[in-house]
Amino acid sequence: MKNRIYILGAGMTGLSAGVISGIPIFEAGEYPGGICSSYYMRPNSRNRLHEKPEDGEVYRFEIGGGHWIFGSEGLIQKFIRKFVSLKSYQRRSSVYFPDKDLFVPYPIQNHLRYLGKEITSKALYEIIDSLNKSKNFATLSEWLEANFGKTLCELFFFPFHELYTAGLYTRIAPQDAYKTPINLKDIIQGVFSDVPPAGYNTTFVYPEEGLDVLARRMAERCNVNYGKKVIKIDTKEKTLYFEDGSYVGYDILISTIPLNKVIELANLSSELQSKSDPYTSVLVVNIGGKKGEKCPKDHWIYIPYSKTRFHRVGFYSNVDKSFVPKSVQDLDTHVSIYVEKAYMGGEKPSEEELNELVKDIIEELISWGWINEVEVVDPTWIDVAYTWSWVGSNWKTEAIKLLETYGIYQVGRYGRWHFQGIADSIKEGFIAGSVFRVR
């Protein structure tokens, strides 16, 4: 008798596992791609279109904000190019200080001269001094101060991470150090002149036709069952129960569902000794409209403080003009934007609070001169957006091992509770799909 094997989730990891293996996929939504999928909206409309209309008179957005493909190896890109054409880009990113109307190129530590002589001098001294000290730290905030010093932390790193982690940065373990590179040679050079781009995403690629086309074409090579939201996993009877009232027996599950959610669905929390690690939810507000007089040229910008407490603004249309309606693409008059605001895991605002917040965000962006007349606004809620670990926590390892004893194998960014991009997610899907391949 053949094993009953299924994949949970038709995001990039689940789709790549399905392509390589032929294993059936259960997807909660009606479309593939998960949060890494594009959609379209006409000006002055509230309706999402999941395929681009022939006239092209739409703004293109993404469910979870800008998802650019970085760090992709040759073989991964070759796989992606089997489905779509890719365009390459050189990153343009900054830190913005609203009170000074000041843009500092990212990463801030490599461009100290933009901050004035006094701050530059203090920050440089503290960074060099930190190299001669033993670095004792447990939390993310302690790691930041140990490496970048008090001046830069108070100016940028602390207020930004307060927003980005929804206040968790003083209690969680350091992670993702590659996002804030530390290279003394570049830091010193940046005091006097330009330095080469640094960080994990200095170059990236993106499908010419949008992520939705990549997801859809991958899904065409898979056996995807849509509208199958899992509401319970009975690990004793080896049965999956779905929201539509159906159920199916299984032997093995390849799960891309967030690790904490799978533990809840399987009712296994009592079998874990460790406290569940935290996560942050993110409100993504997609906006399309006319550019303001001071609209930046950056692809995305980090914000250490704002009245409405958003921490990042991305400009889809600065990456590629195809994100605005076809009739204005060559005029450079319109912009497609995403705004990110983090919340402690699951603390979703009410509908009334959400509407007021979106209004305030738009007013703030208008006051900065980044946008002018708004033609479409569409907020999306990402429940598990960023995953973190408590200091000294073994929960992630313990939870993954426990699930494996029940034939449930967690893969992908949220399945394994660690940050990674689309390319690495596809690679993990390949590995999982190859292990349990049925064709």
Say which CATH number the domain at 214 has.
3.50.50.60
Same domain, 259 and 397: yes
Sign of CA dihedral 104, 105, 108, 112: negative
Structural domain containing residue 427: 5-33+208-274+392-435
Instruction: Please give the single-letter amino acid code of residue 423.
Output: A
Q: How far apart are CA 254 and CA 265, in angstroms?
A: 14
Q: What is the pLDDT of residues 5-31, one digit of tens each?
A: 999 999 999 999 999 999 999 999 999
| pLDDT mean for each 10 residues of the chain (439 residues) | 87 97 96 93 95 96 93 84 95 96 96 96 93 84 94 98 97 84 92 90 92 96 97 97 97 97 97 94 97 97 97 98 97 97 93 95 98 96 96 96 97 94 93 85
Among residues 31, 155, 170, the alpha carbon closest in space to that of 96 is found at 155
d(CA 123, CA 187): 10
Tell whether the torsion through CA atoms of 37, 43, 47 and 53 is positive or negative. Answer: negative
Nearest to 306 by CA among 339, 284, 282, 337: 339
Same domain assignment for residues 154 and 224: no
DSSP conformation class of 154 = I
104 phi/psi in degrees, rounded to 5: -120, 125
Q: Do 117 and 262 have their domain in common?
A: no
The pLDDT score that the predictor gives to residue 349 is 93
Structurally, the chain folds into a number of domains equal to 2
Asked if residue 217 and residue 184 are part of one domain, the reply reads no
DSSP codes, 239-258: EEEETTS-EEE-SEEEE-S-
Same domain as 187, residue 222: no
Amino acid 72: pLDDT:
65
Task: Output the pLDDT for position 377.
Answer: 97
Least Cα distance to 70 among 381, 300, 411 occurs for 300
Query: Residues 179, 216: one domain?
Result: no
List Cβ neighbours of 430 (8 Å cut-off, separation of 6 or more). 16, 17, 20
397 and 270 in a common domain: yes
Q: Are residues 142 and 215 in the same domain?
A: no
Q: How many CB atoms lie within 10 A of CB 339?
A: 24
The closest alpha carbon to 256, from 50, 33, 66, belongs to 33
Within 8 A by CB and 6+ apart from 149, the residues are: 122, 123, 125, 126, 127, 129, 130
Residue 88 lies in a domain: no
- Residue located via tokens 């609209």: 295
Domain boundary, last residue among 136, 159, 192:
192
pLDDT of residue 80: 95
Residues 144 and 216 placed together within one structural domain of the fold: no
Per-residue pLDDT, 1: 45
Q: Amino acid identity, residue 427?
A: K
Same domain, 259 and 398: yes
Final residue of a structural domain among 159, 192, 225: 192
Distant-in-sequence, close-in-space partners of 84: CB < 8 Å, separation ≥ 6: 207, 208, 209, 213, 214, 217
Together in a domain, 24 and 173: no
- The pLDDT value recorded for residue 439 is 60
